[in-house]
Amino acid sequence: MTKTLVLFEEWLRCPKCRGKLNVNQERNSITCQMDSSHDYPIEDNIPRFVQREEISPEDAKWIFNYDESADQYDQALEFYNELLKPT
C-alpha cells in the first residue's frame, strides 16, 4: 500500500513547514522529520494532508458538489471519447 509512497519519499515535503516527510508503514501515516506533530494519515492509499475539520464550509460544499457529479462526468467523458475514436 504505502510502498509507492516510499518510492517518492525523497520528494515529499510537509505542507506546514516544508520539512522532509517519512512514510511510517506501521502507523499507516506520513510524519514530518522536523516536527513529529505534523503527522498525516494515509486513507485508501491517499495521504490526507488536510483534515475534514480544517475544510471551510464553502470548500466542503464545492467538494460535495464535485463528488456528486464526478460519476456523471466520467460517463460523459467515456461517451465522447467513443464518439471521437477513429474508425
Residues 12 and 77: their CA atoms lie apart, in Å, by 32
| Helix, strand, coil share (%) of the chain residues, nearest 5 | 40, 20, 40
Single-letter residue type at 16: K
Predicted local distance difference test score (pLDDT) of residue 51: 83
Provide the β-strand partners of residue 13.
20
**Overall number of domains in the chain:** 2
Predicted local distance difference test score (pLDDT) of residue 65: 92
Q: Are 23 and 59 contained in the same domain? A: no
Whichever domain contains 47, its CATH number is 2.20.25.10
Q: What is the residue-level pLDDT of the chain in tens, covering all 87 positions?
A: 456 666 777 888 999 999 999 888 888 999 999 999 999 999 888 889 988 888 999 999 998 998 899 889 889 999 999 999 887
The domain of 25 spans: 1-51
